[in-house]
Amino acid sequence: MTHIVSRHDVRTAPAVSALLELLSGQDVARFQRATGYIESGRTDLGVAFELSGDVHRADAVRDVLVKLTGPSLALAPSSIVRGKHDCFQGKALATVWSLKAPTAPVREAVAVCLDTGLVTYRGKRSRSWTGEATVRALVRTAQPADWRDLAGRVQVFNFGAQRVSYGQAQSLLATVLSDLDAVRAWSQDGLAALNKRGGKF
């Protein structure tokens, strides 16, 4: 059984209970640490986050993370291809949607999120990065992706085990959003756990 590092009153809050139901089948403790990292505004660990599998669960969880972060950017990969890297300015969380497995432009978008302005290319299919992330990337895909040389820098959460209807997911989402303070407290406990682990998700 996964141990959730939270105060008892936070764990039993209806909003947190609804979020945990959306997370069915996930490593809840790892997701809690990731949520704490995202909500905190930190970018120093240089990671991106992929939400894949069941579209209704993944989209609802994405909406929760965007709400926790505040103003965010729905970024089309074409913006990156056209070289509009300045669209990241002033943003903490860039969201990239891809209904299929990530194409090269999507992977490039994530790479730019991880190291804005520090992307170097080694041929058409290989890249390397230096420095720290200035933006976090949140990616929604239909299937778990092959991140190639981004392996180790993308935290993957796959919601494919148990599918729910759109109505069920939206009902749970509404409950989560009705008490974001409780969800923030839960995520802050996750951040504390992440710090105790030395930044390991």
Give the pLDDT score at 193: 96
Residue with tokens 């299929």: 100
Predicted model pTM? 0.78
Residue range 100-116, pLDDT digits in tens = 666 666 676 676 666 54
Give the pLDDT score at 59: 87
Which pLDDT band holds residue 83 (cuts at 50, 70, 90)? very low
Residue range 24-79, pLDDT digits in tens = 867 899 999 999 998 888 878 878 888 887 888 988 998 898 888 876 655 544 45
Give the pLDDT score at 91: 63
Residue 128 confidence (pLDDT) above 60: no
Q: 195: helix, coil or strand?
A: helix
- Number of Cβ within a 10 Å radius of residue 3: 8
Give the pLDDT score at 161: 63
Name the phi and psi angles at 77, rounded to 5. -55, -30
CA 9 from centroid of its chain's CA atoms: 25
Q: What percent of the chain has pLDDT over 90?
A: 29
75 neighbors 96 (Cβ within 8 angstroms): yes
Give the pLDDT score at 45: 83
d(CA 115, CA 132): 6
Best-predicted range by mean pLDDT (39-43, 87-91, 99-103, 119-123): 39-43
Give the pLDDT score at 46: 78
